[in-house]
Amino acid sequence: DADVTQTPRNRITKTGKRIMLECSQTKGHDRMYWYRQDPGLGLRLIYYSFDVKDINKGEISDGYSVSRQAQAKFSLSLESAIPNQTALYFCATSDQRDSYQETQYFGPGTRLLVL
Amino acid sequence: GQSLEQPSEVTAVEGAIVQINCTYQTSGFYGLSWYQQHDGGAPTFLSYNALDGLEETGRFSSFLSRSDSYGYLLLQELQMKDSASYFCAVRGNDMRFGAGTRLTVKP
């Protein structure tokens, strides 16, 4: 079984709809991240969380919100989806005990299309 | 502002050596990472440099010069399976990635 899973893997929605992307991990890591990837722009950090009670905005948090329901679960919500939020979304985890290496482990991604 | 610059594309032949450079300007700096991403796949960790110098892991090596805000990834004995996108990333006040370098390895 995959250590970092994302659901759904693909989603098509309409402008103005609220949607939630979910991420679960079995690695026991305390740190979790949400990124979006657009062609030619690399990965951009949306939100990150260093533990259940810690939520931090990343580079591009506008239009997004997150919830860290448990150490293993980190959800990303688009309150009112717009077409320029069409992108590939990745969840990632890391272990603060591994802070020297700063290795991030990525989920398989969610491909989102907003019409 | 914050930025990470890396070449958009590099082409090389099997068995060759290729170097992918990364220059950065970020708020805070703890270390420079490199990730590989194959088409349709997720990024996977390759290496991390927190201190100046060269880190070697098999065919891949990574270098960092903090005073020059510069690093590179060196891939040796290139194989076809090395064709992928490579991203540098900086752990500073948050996490920033470069736009990626698409490496094509030709026979």
**Nearest CA among A2, A3, A11 for reference residue A89:** A11
- B62-93: pLDDT as tens digits: 999 999 999 999 999 999 999 999 999 998 88
Question: Given pLDDT bands bounded at 50, 70 and 90, which one contains residue B48?
Answer: very high
Provide the strand spans (E) within chain B: 3-5, 9-13, 18-25, 31-37, 44-49, 53-57, 60-65, 70-75, 84-91, 95-97, 101-106
- A2-53: pLDDT as tens digits: 799 999 999 999 999 999 999 999 999 999 999 999 988 889 999 999 999 9
Chain B residue closest in CA terms to A39: B99
Contacts with A109 from chain B: Cβ below 8 Å: 42
Average pLDDT over all residues of chain A = 94
Q: Would you give the distance in Å from CA A27 to the centre of its chain?
A: 16
Q: Which of B20, B45, B64, B87 to mutate to test the interface with A (most CBs of A within 10 A)?
A: B45
* pLDDT score, position A99: 62
How far away is chain A from the Cα of B82, in angstroms, using its nearest Cα? 18
Query: For residues A72 and A95, which has the higher predicted lDDT (pLDDT)?
Result: A72
- B19-46: pLDDT as tens digits: 999 999 988 899 999 999 999 999 999 9
* pLDDT score, position A24: 98
Question: Given pLDDT bands bounded at 50, 70 and 90, which one contains residue B1?
Answer: confident
How do beta strands B101-106 and B9-13 pair?
A: parallel
Rg (CA), chain A: 13
How far away is chain A from the Cα of B83, in angstroms, using its nearest Cα? 17
Percentage with pLDDT > 70 across chain A = 96
**Nearest CA among B52, B90, B17 for reference residue A43:** B90
- Interface contact B45-A104, CB threshold 8 A: yes
In this predicted structure, the answer to whether residue A85 has a pLDDT above a threshold of 90 is yes
Which residues 37-96 in chain B show a CB within 8 A of chain A?
A: 41-45, 48, 50, 87, 89, 91, 94-96
Ramachandran class of A107: left when φ > 0, alpha when ψ lies in -120 to 50, beta otherwise: beta
In this predicted structure, the answer to whether residue A71 has a pLDDT above a threshold of 90 is yes
* pLDDT score, position A11: 97
Which residues 17-56 in chain A show a CB within 8 A of chain B?
A: 33, 35, 40-45, 48, 56
